[in-house]
Structures are given as C-alpha cells and as structure tokens.
Structure 1
Amino acid sequence: MNHTPTHIIPVKPVPVSTESVPSLAQTTCPYCGVGCGVDITMQQEAGNTVLTSLTGTPEHPANFGRLCVKGTNLLDTNSENGRLLFPAINGERASWDEATTAIAEKMVSVIKTHGPDAVALYVSGQLLTEDYYVANKLMKGYVGSANIDTNSRLCMSSAVGAYKRAFGEDIVPCNYDDLEQTDLLILTGSNAAWTHPVLFQRMERAKRRNPDMKVVVVDPRATDSATLADFHIALKPGTDAVLFNGLLTFIAENDALDNAFIQASTNGFTDALKAAADYSVSEVAKQCDIPEHEVLAFYSLFLNSERAITFFSMGINQSNSGVDKGNAIINCHLASGKIGKAGSGPFSITGQPNAMGGREVGGLANMLAAHMDIENAEHRERVQRFWDAPTIAEKGGLKAVDLFKRINEGKVKFVWIMATNPVVSMPNRSEVEAALSKCEMVVVSDIVQKNDTLKYAHITLPATGWSEKNGTVTNSERRISRQRGLLTPPGEAKHDWQAISLVAAKLGFESAFNYQHPADIFREHAQLTAFENDRERALNLSAFNHISVAEYDNLRPVQWPVTDAAKTGTARMFENGHYFTADGKARFIAITPRLPEQQTSAEFPFVLNTGRSRDQWHTMTRTGKAAKLLKHAPHATLALHPKDREALGIEVNSLVALDSACNTGEPVILPVVEDAQLRRKTCFAPIHWSASWGSNITLGALFNGAHDPLSGQPELKHGAVNLTPANFELHGQMIIADDSKLNIVSEHFDYWAKSVLDGGSTLRVASNRDVPTMARLLRGALPQAWVLTMMQSANGLVVLATHDKQLQFGLWLAEDFPALPDEWLDDCLQKDAIDAELQASLLRGQPDEAFLNGKLVCSCFSVREKSIEVAIAEGACSVEALGEKLKCGTNCGSCKPELKQILQRQPVLTAAVALTEEVVTYD
C-alpha cells in the first residue's frame, strides 16, 4: 500500500558533489516564527562541505524568497569560533559516556531520594520537533514528572491559553495569505517590522495592492511598524483588554453582531458581553488614556470592515493577564463572525522557529503530547499506552518562573537546560542565578562555550546548531518544514534527541529510545497525533504514519492537519464552524481587565518596556558573532522621550542607571537615545544584550517575576524603574584586536560594554579612577611585546598599542565620551601597518571625513543616515528612489520603515514624498 502523501515528491538521486560542481540544499531559517525557507549553495573543498551562498527559497509559501537581515546573514554567524565542541564535567573534558553516566546516576539518585518532581528539564523553541518529542517522552512517560518547560513559556504561552479556552485546542485559525486578503489589519503588541520583517513586507505589499485596506497599530510606542499604519493608538501600557472589551460592547450596541454564527457556533456570549458592558467609548478612552475620537475611529473601522485580522504578539502575551487579553481579542472576532474565513481572525505570531512544534509534542509543563491534556485521565492513559511507558505524569509540572523558584528553594535538585539562556531571558535574574548556584546538578546543552547560564553548569554537552540539526519545525501558520542537516557536526557535538536518548538508555529505557534517524521520531509523533483521534483533536498527522526516511528527507512544507482526507494539508481552520470543545462550539470568555503588577510610584516613576532589536536575536550567541549585524545598534540603549530626558538632566548618549524595587544587584547602566514617539514617563530597552556583553547589562533583574496565573507567562513588558545619571570621572572608547585579551583590560574599568567589529572588538568604558592610575594599570595589563604610545593630560588619556606595526589596542579616555566612529576604528585595526600620519590622527581622535556619515540604516549595503539625507536633498523622494540610488531597502527590506521615517523628517520634501508614495500605492 502506498502511504506517500501527495506533497512528498520523490526525487532522483543527486550525484555526489565534486570540487567543481556546487549543489543546492533547502532548509529553514532558525530565527523567528515566520519559518522562512532558505536555499543553500554547497561546495566540496578539500574533502569538506562548505556553504558558499544563501538566498530565500522562492517557492517556500512562508517567504517566497524573501529573507530579513538576520536570515540573509546566517552564514556569517555559522563559524565554529566559540563553539562548544566536547562534553565537560566541572570544567574538565569528558567523554560522552562519562557525562551521560553522571547525568543518569544523578537523576536516579535524586528520584530515589526525593521523587520524580525533584528533576526538571528546561528546553527551548530552538529545539526541533524531534528533540522536543524525545525530551517530553522521557520526562512525562518514563521519569513520571511533567517538570519539562520551555523558553516558549516566555513567548506565546498566553496565546496558547487563550486559544485553548476559546477553541478547545491550541489552534491558530489564520494563515499568512490572510494578511494579504484582509480589509483591516490590526497590529497590537507587535512590532512586526523588526520582529517578523518578512511578514511585514507582505503587509506592505498587501496595502500597496489594495489601497482601501486599513492598518491600525495599537502600541504604547510608535515603532517602525507604525510607518504602515493609517493611525496609531498609543494606549496606556497594560490596558489592551480594556480596549477590546470596549470593542465587544461597541459591536453589540451598533447591531454588528453575527447572531446566526453566535447562536450556531458559540457559547458564553451573554456572560462575556455582561463583563464588558461598562466599557463605553468614553470609559475606554479614559482608562487607555487616549482621545475618544481615536477609540471611535478604531471601533468604526472594525465594524465597517467585512474582514479583519488582529495580529498580536509579545505586547499582549507578556503580561500578568495575557490569556485574558488574548480572549478579549478572540471575543471580538467571535461576536462579529470575523473568523474561519479568508482575511479574518485572531492571529498570534510566535517569536521562535519551533515554538509551535514544541506545543505539538507537549513541550510545555501543562501539556501532554499531541495536544492532549495532562489533567485528563483518559488522555493520560492513552498516551501511556501508546508509549508503553512505565508511568505517566499525573499533574501539570512547574512552569518557568515557578521552576526556578523551586530550584532556589531546594525542591528541585537536578535541572537540564537545553538550547536556551535563562539567566538572561528570565525575570528576577538574581533569583535565577541563586537557584542555579544552589542546584545539586545543572546540565547545559548548548552550541557555545560561553554565556551567562553556562558558568553555573556542572556538566556541559555540545549540541548541534543550525546547518547541522536535522528534523522539522512548525511555523506560526501551522506549517511544518524541514530543517536539514547540511554539515557534519563539529567536534563531538550531538543532536539533542541523541543526547536525551543516551541518558534514557542509561536510565534503563533503551528500547523505547532506540531511534536511529529523526524520521523514526517524526513517524512516532505522527502516529501519536492520529492514535484514537476520531476528529477529537485538530492536530492530526496521520498521512505520515508510515513515512519512510527518503520521504522524510524530501518532505515539502505543509500545514497540519495532514490526513488521508487532507493529504496536502489544511490552509485555514474553522471554516465549517466546528471547534474542538466538548460540544463543538467556540467559547466566549468573560474578561475583567487587570492592571500590571509592577505599578509606578514616586520612587519608581517610569514604566520600562522591553523588546527586540531589528538585527539581533535572543541573547546574541549567534547574531552577536556577525559584526555586520551590530552596526545598526552596536550596544543596548535606553530610549527616552526628549522631555523626560531633559527633565532628568541627561544628555543624549550619556549613561543612565536603571533600578527597580526587586533588583538586589547593581543597577543596569545604558546609554540614552531619544524617541519622541514614546509616551511620557515610559522607556524602552532591548532584550538581547547581557552580562556577556557588559558589566551592568542585567535587564531581567528589573522585573519581579509577575506572571499570568493561567499561562505562567512573565510580565516582561511592564516594569517600574527609576532613572538617574550614571556619573563617572572618565568616559572612553576602547578597541582591541584579540578578544582573548579583552578581560585583562576590561576588569580595570568600573563600566564596560562590548560590541564586535570585523577586526576585533570595541568597548564603551568608564572609570572613577584618575588618569595616572589608569595609565599605570594599563601598562601592567597589556602584553609586554606590544609597543605602547601614550598621550596623557590632566583630564584625558590616549593609549595606542602595536605589534609588528599593526594596531592591537586603542583607548581614548576623557571627561566626555569621545564617540569615535566604529567604522574608522575597525578600518585601523584591519590595516597591515599604522603609518605616522594615521597614528597622529588616532592620537588626536580625528577620523577621516569618509567615516563621518552618521548612523547605519541599511545593514545589507552599509548605507548611513547622512548619505540618505544627501540623496533626498538631491531628489530621491521615496523609499523606491532611495533604493535605486543607494540600494538601501532593496535586499531584505528590514530598513524600509526607517527610510520612511527619514523621508518624513525632511520638511521641504513632505509634499513630494506624499505625491511619490501615492503614485507607488495606486500603480
């Protein structure tokens, strides 16, 4: 019998590549939840496979060839430099047998003494579905504890909770095509222009094709995404549920209810409407602190649009009431019938490449595999029987925040952390650090030698990374894609599923974890989704029940459910009005909005919001390796409204200290930038930089661990902080060619923050020591083989160090930060020799005119702000014209929103820009 689904296309064997014949492989980007297809050109050189070029896959339905700046530069982050290559026990190299034996013995000892709930796994949306499946199976079916949680808890668990309450199952009802078919696109809690740039480009294209399409951005700050908006609602932080409760009431009061749909396909409408009844337009305006006319305009747009998408992300989810906010949005779509049809629905977008794949296999502590419920005895029995497991977890496990609390309390004795960096990403950093320092055994599987979490590891295991990992991921529209292994793992690195299986075997479970290929795991996962599933669960991969290795290797992107009745997948859910609740009806949820927990006060008067930076990813263990990706934003910064900055007496680019009531360590220190689009008394900082990148970059310490009681998702969008100038006697800039010598120098400064250059590293530094002391310390710290040149004054110091006439080190210290262009300093580091003229320029801190072109805007073509302003002055009055002249915006497109903002800042050209954009829009 032929079980091959129609989307698996048999291919002829590809001849082995020779050194003169490149080959093409297709894989999936490892960054955000868009799930872009990537084409890789490979070449055999001296018997080794080399990845020579990378482009987007033209036929992949997630991106159709587009890639953002991070995806475009994947190959620049793929070196073995800094990779973790061998297992280690207490810092000493060990074999895999020794390491896995030690892990298994500790697990057995802890379970015997304290029970299975004293062990835990903390995993990641960076794992492939196959890794996730094996980890979940081991913990819940063989260890017998549900203490396996994931950093996806910090990303989209509130959306999961909202979908499950409303639909009976964790089902995203929309797909990417809906973004191009809608009449109204609402972006709420999402800066898609930076976080999901490829989808943002589809949104831009949709608006050009359909000028009547409206876009509303709901966000306390006007992000780059607001450049696409017809209007921006800058609501008070934390009041999203108020806004959507008001919309539900407005729909009912203006005869816009889809009564037939409500009657046939939903329950709970009366209670939900009653809970929202007090939220009139005026009350919403008051609580959200926005003008009434904006509320009315938004509500009227929703009512008058036949189709509407509400596209939401971390700004909704990362809240102490994130599930309620998600359900407040879903309520509006159910009430108006704007769901289950093209161009309509509540669309949660995930932040990681396989957050949804992890959800499919039970990666969260409150789930079972295959979308079954851990609290359901029938489901538990079914999964245990399918796995032929000796036990099954009988209750939900510890969610992320609670997990680290229990480790800190000594109740969890063993934790295995995979592919994530919780010391940086979790709130209440001091508690997480204390927990890991107390834990009897911390195992960390990772690809890097160093991050903030690894220093707490007793055992480290080298894992495979993108280009080596082999398996599947599921993107935000339920589309399963292959991430293919292209390169041989370096050193002794193993796939995460292999490491878990080795430990499982030493726990006595070898027969249940005897996988030889990821296809074996995927096949088992598919079979479990179909097992005793008579339309009870939407997640059904029965078409893959007998998938072969060859079919798996040639798997093409497909959206679940994938069954014999839907062999090519399912593009859109709920078109038939059937949901996956007990009675087949969707549920309205009565919502009572709650304020964020960390409220401002006289002592802590500023709201701190956090989020992503355009060119960086998570804790920068990959993107931080590419100097090109650090040029747009070399350091973490704190954005302030200009009037707040002036009131605090803080200059642009000066250092500011942030502190909060829960922070028990040193304040966070960041340089200040201005953002006139922020609400007053709010500030914004990016999440990516950490203690690996600077002396005072511990952002998570400012958040107290407040989290949603249902989802467990932490409130990372609303902290309460105070801001004070960070005063130092001396401020400086430092460059160094050899990163291995960085620590011996940076330790002599009271403050430092690093960035990467092509020729080495650059640091912003500050000190409370005087100039003679700094000069003496540096003489003792720098290698004796280097030739030092020092220029010292009462309030300043310049130090240059060369070796064989090449610049190795430079330092410029003064009362004020020198702000020398990184590009100039990088150029000097890369020169074969420093002549007398250049040395004189370095001593004076006087860069060449060519390096004074302002902030980098376009990372792909290194186009800077002043060049763009000159081009505008010469008549390039649109984004398209700037692209023709300078190439900016013509590759990944991530810089297009910023180009629009620069165009809008040129008052003389305002009319010309508007006219040009109108022509482009209607063309």
Structure 2
Amino acid sequence: MDGSNLPEVRSTCAYCGVGCGVLLRPDRAGGLTVRGDPDHPANFGRLCSKGTALGETVGLEHRLLTPRAFARDVGWDEALQLVADRFRETIAAHGPDSVAFYVSGQLLTEDYYVANKLMKGFIGSANIDTNSRLCMASTVAGHKRAFGTDTVPGTYEDLDQADLVVLVGSNLAWCHPVLYQRVLAARQARGTRIVVIDPRRTASCDQADLHLALNPGSDVALFNRLLARIHQGGHVQPDFLTRTEGFSDALHAARRDDPIPTGLTEAEIDAFCDLWIKTRRVVTVFSQGVNQSSCGTDKVNAILNCHLATGRIGHPGMGPFSVTGQPNAMGGREVGGLANALACHLDIEDPDHRTAVQQFWQAPKMPERAGLKAVDMFRAVETGRIKALWIIHTNPAATMPDADRVRRAIARCPFVVVSDITRQTDTARLAHVLLPATGWAEKDGIVTNSDRTISRQRAVLPPPGQARPDWQILSEVGRRMGFGPAFRYRSEAQIFREHARLSALAAALGKDFDISGLSNLSDDDYASLTPTRWPVNGPGADGRLFGDGRFFHADGKARFVPVTHRGPAARPTRDYPFVLNTGRIRDQWHTMTRSGLSPRLSGHLAEPFLDLHPDDALRLGVQVADLAQVTSPVGRGLFRVRITDTVRPGQVFAPMHWTAETAPASRVDALVPGPTDPVSGQPESKAAPVAVRRMQAAWYGFAVSGTAIAPDVEYWARARTTGGYRTELAGCNPILDWEATARTWFDLPEAPVVTVSDAARGAHRLVFTEGARLSAVLFVAKSPVALMRDHVASLLGGEAGAVLSGRAAHGLADAGPVVCACFGVGRKTVAQAIRSGAARTLDELGAAVQAGTNCGSCRPELAELLRLHAPNGTRAQNAPA
C-alpha cells in the first residue's frame, strides 16, 4: 500500500537559510514525496533543485544506526555513561576549558539551546562554537558594532518591493535560488535593477544591469567610495543621522581610502554609485563573499554605513540584508551557539547579562569571557589544551581551513565524540564514540530563516535503528554528569517555552531578540505553530526594525564604524601567483552527506573542478579536461580543468563540496590557510594564494559500477547514478594488468569480462557482466576519456552489449549531462529542442521540455545554450555538446 492517502505534513527544507516551507508525504516504504508549501511566506510553493530532490535523500544506506565506542557497537546506556564520565573526569583533572563542543547550523533550535546551556551554564566554559562561524560570524560582529545587537533589519518582502537589488559576494541564483526568483519577479513586475559585485561572473550576473568584477577582498574600498559620494552629493539624511553616532569619523576614513585596490575603472565605480544613490528603494544583499574574509566585519560595516547615512533601513524595499547559508544558522545565533555570545543575543562579557542567565538557568557557574572560536578551538585541540571534544552534525576535518592540520589535531585528541546521521564522514572516522542522531524528516523542532521567520520542522518518518534527537542525547549526558534538574526535558515544546521565557529577560536588558509572546504555547499550539517572524512582542510590527531610528546600543543610537581597505591576509607570491576563490555549486550542499545521495543532483557537475582563465591556461599549457595540481602553503589538490572567462586572469575557482569520502585528492579546504578576521574570528576562504600546474598523468579512466569504489590511485572522484556510481580516475604510474586491477577495484573476482585493448594507444575497455546484464565497466586512455558519460551510466544493470562504444547507438536518445536538476532535463535534450526551432526563448524552452520552470537556477545555463544552438547562431569555441 502506498502513502497516497496519507495527509501531507508541513515542514521546512533541510538546506539553506531561505527556510522554504515543504509539504511531505511518507510513501510507507521509507521514502517521501516533497513539494513546496504554497502558504509558506519564504517560498510560496517554490523549491530549488535541492529541495525538489529531498525525497531521494532519506534512505538508510549510509546511516549510523547504533552507538559505537572504540570501534564496536554498544548500547545507549554504555555510550552515554562513557561520554559523561570522560567529560566529567577531564574537567576534574584539567578544568572546564579543557573540553569543547563544536556544533552546527543543522541543529534545530531546541538542540542548540540544550547544548549551549550544558556547556556555558553547567560545565562552566564558553568553549562551544558552531560551523556558522565559517559562514556568518562577520555579519554578527558587524551588526553588533552598528546596531548594538545581531539584528537583520529587513524581510524577504523587501526584495519584492525594491527598485535596486545589489548582490555583494552572493551568487543568489545558485546559493539561494528561491530568493533570486523573487528578485527576478520584481524585475519583471516593477523594473527592479540588479547589480552584482563579485570577482567572478556567476549565474547571478545573467540578468544583472551591472557586474563589478572587483579584486578579491576590496569591498571596503568600493563602499567607502560610495559613502564619500553620498556625502559629496548631499544625499545624507540629516534627521536619521541624529539617531546615530560616529558619522564624521567614518566619512573621514572613507574619504582617505583609495578605490584603486578594487581594480575597477572610475566609470564602473561612478555608474554603481550613481545608481545606488539615485535609487531610494535599494536592498544590499550580502553573503559569503563578504563574510569569509580576514576583513569581513569591516566589509559588513562599510555596507551598513551607507544605509545608515541615507536612512535606507527598516522601510519597505530598502536595507542591508545578510542571507545565511544553513537552515538554522539564525537559530544558533539566537540561542548563543557562538563562543562569544550568550542565549537570546545577550553578551557573555556583560556581568548583568551573565547574572540574568545564570539565575534563570539556576546554573552553578558561568564563564566570564568568550570561549574559543572555531579556528582557535582546533588549534587548542592540536596543542592539547582541549582534551575532550564533542562534534555534532558537522565535518571539520573536511571543512575547516588548513583541513589536514585540523584532521591531525582531531586524530590526536584523547577523547572525541561525534553525533551524526552517518559514520561515513572525514570527521566521524576519527571519533572514539559515535552517537546516532535523527535527521531531517525524523525530528521535530524550530528553525529560523534569514529574515527572522521561525518555522517548524516536523517528523514524518520514524527514527531509524536506535537514532535519537540531539536534545535528548545532550540532556541525558547532562543528567549523567550530575546536572539532572536542569535537563529533565520531556519534549521539544518544553525546551522552546523555556527559550521563549528567557528572551523576555533579554528584552528587559535592552536586546532585540524577543519571542516571549510564544512562552505560553501549549504542546498542541507548538505542534501547529505557523511561520512567525520575531520579535513576537515589542517593535517591528511590520517585521522590519530600525525604521523608527531606535537601535540597541545603550543610548538607543546606531554606530558608524570607520573602516579602511586592508585586503586579504595572504597575498599572491612568485611561488603562489594565483588567488583561489571557493564556494558552492548549484545542486550540491556542504559536504554532500545528504545531497550526494541523489543521482539527479549529482548529474549536473559530477566532479570537482577548477575554473581557469583562457590566458592562464595557455601560459600553463593546460587544456580543457586536463587535471590540474593546485598547491598552497598548507596543502594541495587535484581538480578537473574548466577553461572559462568567468574568472579573471590570475584568479581560479574551485567548489567546496568534495571530501575524502568522494574525492580525497580534491578537498578544497586543505588548500585554504588559517588567517581569520580579528573581530569575528571568521576564516578567509575566498583568497588563498596557490600555484597551478598540469598533472602529468600516465593514464585517465572512467568507471561505472554497482558498488562504490575507492581505488588507491592519485585521483578519483565518485558520484551517485541511478542504481550505482560513476567514478573519474587518473594515475601517475602505469598499470600493466588492467583486468586484475579492475577486478580488485570492483570486487568482481569471478565475473565474466569482455576486454578490448589497444596497448599502443594505451586504450582499454573492460565490461563486466552478470548474465547479460552490465555490472561494471572501465574505460582507460592516455588522455582524458572522451565518451557519453551520462549514457554509459544509464546502462548499468541493463543490456551490456552496447556499452563498449561509450556512445548511444544511432536512433537512441542520449539526454546528455543534466542541466535542469528539478526535472532531470539533459543538455542534449535542450539543444535538440532549440535546434529544431521548437524553443527560441526561455519560456518556449520551458514549455517544450520543462527545463527552467521550477527554481530557475538553471536559466542562465539555458540562456547560454539558446545562444549556442539557435538556428543560424554562432557556436562558441569549446561549447559543450
């Protein structure tokens, strides 16, 4: 019996900070159908490709289903007592600062709250930090300097009502596609103009009126010029300025700053300044290109200074807008998940705030100073100051800067606990204790999105195996450590009510975060809670803050912050002449623990790559599809080369998603050094100095198999396909017996094999069968293997006869690599629709093949295909087939 007669359950997407509502229906077989919730104010039914594919990611193939301690399965009682004992013993011997928690924006607010309460209120240390430190800590610091507290002033509705949207260090089209579609809808409805400020030409530039390809790290110089021009042209709002302090100092710093470091022409800078100044309703959206910098906090304040000077804040269609990267990064900020914060946006170093929280929690002791931020935390693990470490739903051995150093530090830590949904991560493999946690669609709780909207995540699937919610795991450890009364929680609703009551104290102490209006929710009210934007009580009746000129510094005024261009901490040198930029791709998420399970999502960009400018490629002797070796002062990696003018000469780009589980030679954060912003502690992930050269491979390979392979060669990168895996390979050492090698890789010692070899050309094709069915195939060549990869992958488990050619037989359709992941539409399907004359515009293309009609994040790529394949059009060099 299927689940078609079951009611849909309202929940929230598992991915980015947009916080899209989803409607979930279990299929009674462990799977889900997923569609966008038309009533949720974040997305009104829209979903991106990742959200659309959520139902493909809930299988149990890779799940951690039972607690493990020192490489053996154990019961919960033994595992929890071991964790409690080892933490208690470590604290007794070395003090509370000898232990640490490293947590995640994947946690729900209730999980986060309990973790923060346990560490700061009862262990008595502030050594709890979150992977959100890597993505939005500079925004938090900038908000606090300017506003007195960490407040996002605006709402998503401002994107609908703006006349100008400026995207600064934000590839909104790929990283927050649903918001980008709102911007495009505003463009169509009201003529909203778009400016993109980014060193790369990204998909967000497709509809932009202006793209400013500034040099990495030079945002402060650009916005300082804007501030100077605002004053010079008489566009300062004097009435609003009376609600601020420090304007003259900020203006003086701005006037002294030189825009030359931006690399932009005066004409480009003037065009931007004129457009910004002359457009009253302007929203400046910023994300990781601003935050992930050694001067990220200054970048944030340079943007905020311009909005404060013009009073363009807290009113419809205007304001600075930070968009977050994780589903509950905002919730982590609200409960004090950062090492330098207390719950409800209170300040850890303020004695009145500490006393209020300590008394509310009835806590025995509270830390008086900030704890170790992420980079410093793992340095303390390395030096032995941290002797017991609990990592929850994150993968620092892959995602921290200088990742190899972090991995070594974790491996040497005397006691490491990892709570996660899988044991197959770089970090989980280093743990002494593994605790199976419930995942998305299995747990209940609250998340807060980028515009302060609180939404419910709801469980629709049963917890698999022995998995438990994180708040239960943390609470039980707290009780076993001797803190019983404070951690006797029975439900998520009880925890949320406590959090809401604490927010009333924060509001009384002059802070912004106030959800006290929800503190008396019954369990039934909590279960049925609809999306609600905070504050719930107090100012912000229309959801916006600061339009009335009231801020959260002690005097009620905002602060201008004088800032000056500093540039990246590490600069290119003769040995490392390139600047490496890192970031996300359209259809994958973080380290692919979830999104990598979907064959559809893996079909767009199935392999780690390096974008290299044509001039640099020519100079280096690198061609399309070669492998490039990239080295930095701290590490090295191998990446497939894409030659493109979307990056400028001297700059390269590589995505962040691959780990030792999927491409061990292509871990980007092994290349990123450790400098951080001195205010926020956020690492600089956008400007690593690197060297690039062609890998001298003896052979290249492409394999398709029913099981995952991890061969001992210099390079491999694996991706899911329907029914199996596809793997790219390359090695520096010749292999003499390809059949024996392939049998070992595929674990097929007795399977029948058909081999076609041309030893002189170094070409080999091996097809393994079970009966007449294809079970594995390997193609080898001296140069990058040329074949129809998606077609070959589709043959797995089917008739083996046609696979040797590596191409579709005449008359058989080959859709080509996926362009539209929402509907699984391939590049060749799109090209054929265009060449046939059936589609001359994006709308006609959508009508013909559905591509681009859901989240729209593929539309820039579709537009390029229209240009390339339109009848009588000119095909670009190296254009993909």
Measured against the shorter chain, the TM-score band is: over 0.9
Displacement of 1:20 after TM fit? 7.2
- Structure 1: distance between partners of 2:579 and 2:485: 53
In 2, are the aligned partners of 1:227 and 1:901 still within 8 Å (CA)? no
Displacement of 1:251 after TM fit? 0.5
Q: Would you say 1:869 and 2:831 are equivalent positions? A: yes
Displacement of 1:771 after TM fit? 4.5
- Structure 1: distance between partners of 2:167 and 2:838: 33
Match for residue 477 of structure 1 among 451, 472, 489 = 451
Q: Would you say 1:268 and 2:246 are equivalent positions? A: yes
Match of 1:685 in 2: 654
Match for residue 885 of structure 1 among 845, 848, 861 = 848
Structure 1 letter corresponding to 2:600: K
Q: Would you say 1:726 and 2:698 are equivalent positions? A: no
SS of aligned partner of 2:482 = helix
SS of aligned partner of 1:241 = helix
- Structure 2: distance between partners of 1:569 and 1:548: 24
- Structure 2: distance between partners of 1:652 and 1:39: 42
Equivalent residues, number: 869
SS of aligned partner of 1:113 = helix
- Structure 2: distance between partners of 1:569 and 1:82: 46
Structure 2 letter corresponding to 1:777: T
Structure 2 letter corresponding to 1:730: W
Match for residue 384 of structure 2 among 391, 407, 410 = 410
Q: State how 1:90-489 maps to structure 2 within 5 Å.
A: 90-211=70-191, 213-263=192-242, 265-279=243-257, 283-284=258-259, 286-489=260-463
In 2, are the aligned partners of 1:771 and 1:796 still within 8 Å (CA)? no
Structure 2 letter corresponding to 1:487: L
Report the more deviating stretch, 844-853 or 121-130. 844-853
- Structure 1: distance between partners of 2:230 and 2:280: 13
Structure 1 letter corresponding to 2:429: K
1:381 to 1:854, Cα distance in 2 relative to 1, 3 A: same
Q: State how 1:762-781 maps to structure 2 within 5 Å.
A: 762-779=726-743
- Structure 2: distance between partners of 1:535 and 1:560: 17
Displacement of 1:538 after TM fit? 1.4
Displacement of 1:906 after TM fit? 5.9
Identity of aligned residues (%): 44
TM-score, normalising length: structure 2 = 0.96
Q: Would you say 1:755 and 2:755 are equivalent positions? A: no
Q: Would you say 1:845 and 2:809 are equivalent positions? A: no
In 2, are the aligned partners of 1:167 and 1:581 still within 8 Å (CA)? yes
List gaps (5 residues or longer) in structure 1: 1-16, 912-923
SS of aligned partner of 2:364 = coil
- Structure 2: distance between partners of 1:771 and 1:381: 68
Match of 2:608 in 1: 636
Displacement of 1:752 after TM fit? 1.3
- Structure 1: distance between partners of 2:743 and 2:507: 72
Q: Would you say 1:790 and 2:751 are equivalent positions? A: no
In 1, are the aligned partners of 2:791 and 2:815 still within 8 Å (CA)? no
Match of 2:469 in 1: 495
Structure 1 letter corresponding to 2:806: G
In 2, are the aligned partners of 1:635 and 1:754 still within 8 Å (CA)? yes
Match of 1:897 in 2: 860
- Structure 1: distance between partners of 2:506 and 2:590: 39
Displacement of 1:597 after TM fit? 1.3
1:346 to 1:137, Cα distance in 2 relative to 1, 3 A: same
Query: Deviations 1:347-402 (Å, cap 9, x if unpaired)?
Result: 00000010000100000000000110001001001100000001111110000000
Displacement of 1:174 after TM fit? 0.8
In 1, are the aligned partners of 2:102 and 2:130 still within 8 Å (CA)? yes
Report the more deviating stretch, 476-485 or 670-679. 670-679
Q: Would you say 1:572 and 2:544 are equivalent positions? A: yes
Structure 2 letter corresponding to 1:825: V
1:753 to 1:356, Cα distance in 2 relative to 1, 3 A: same
Query: Deviations 1:134-169 (Å, cap 9, x if unpaired)?
Result: 000000000000000000000101000000000000
Match of 1:12 in 2: none
Match of 1:34 in 2: 18
- Structure 2: distance between partners of 1:893 and 1:617: 17
Displacement of 1:514 after TM fit? 0.5
Match of 1:827 in 2: 794
Match of 1:54 in 2: 34
List gaps (5 residues or longer) in structure 2: 875-881
Q: Provide the aligned C-alpha RMSD in A.
A: 1.8
Q: Would you say 1:591 and 2:563 are equivalent positions? A: yes
Displacement of 1:770 after TM fit? 3.1
- Structure 2: distance between partners of 1:671 and 1:225: 23
SS of aligned partner of 1:300 = helix
SS of aligned partner of 1:277 = helix
SS of aligned partner of 1:55 = strand
Displacement of 1:438 after TM fit? 0.8
- Structure 2: distance between partners of 1:734 and 1:41: 36
SS of aligned partner of 1:437 = helix
SS of aligned partner of 1:508 = coil
In 1, are the aligned partners of 2:841 and 2:866 still within 8 Å (CA)? yes
Displacement of 1:492 after TM fit? 0.4
- Structure 2: distance between partners of 1:646 and 1:669: 19
- Structure 1: distance between partners of 2:471 and 2:788: 45
1:505 to 1:798, Cα distance in 2 relative to 1, 3 A: same
- Structure 1: distance between partners of 2:237 and 2:567: 31
Structure 1 letter corresponding to 2:786: A
- Structure 1: distance between partners of 2:556 and 2:367: 28
Match of 2:878 in 1: none
- Structure 2: distance between partners of 1:776 and 1:532: 67
Match of 1:700 in 2: 669
Q: Would you say 1:802 and 2:757 are equivalent positions? A: no
- Structure 1: distance between partners of 2:689 and 2:189: 43
Displacement of 1:534 after TM fit? 2.9
- Structure 1: distance between partners of 2:844 and 2:872: 13
SS of aligned partner of 2:112 = helix
Query: Deviations 1:510-529 (Å, cap 9, x if unpaired)?
Result: 11100111000000000000
SS of aligned partner of 2:659 = coil
In 2, are the aligned partners of 1:128 and 1:471 still within 8 Å (CA)? yes
Structure 2 letter corresponding to 1:848: A
Query: Deviations 1:178-218 (Å, cap 9, x if unpaired)?
Result: 0111111100000000000000000000000012x221100
Match of 1:536 in 2: 510
In 2, are the aligned partners of 1:738 and 1:808 still within 8 Å (CA)? no
SS of aligned partner of 1:808 = strand
In 1, are the aligned partners of 2:423 and 2:429 still within 8 Å (CA)? no
SS of aligned partner of 2:379 = helix
1:828 to 1:63, Cα distance in 2 relative to 1, 3 A: same
Q: Would you say 1:859 and 2:831 are equivalent positions? A: no
1:793 to 1:898, Cα distance in 2 relative to 1, 3 A: closer
In 2, are the aligned partners of 1:42 and 1:51 still within 8 Å (CA)? yes
- Structure 1: distance between partners of 2:202 and 2:828: 22
Displacement of 1:604 after TM fit? 0.7
In 2, are the aligned partners of 1:86 and 1:461 still within 8 Å (CA)? yes
Displacement of 1:790 after TM fit? 2.2
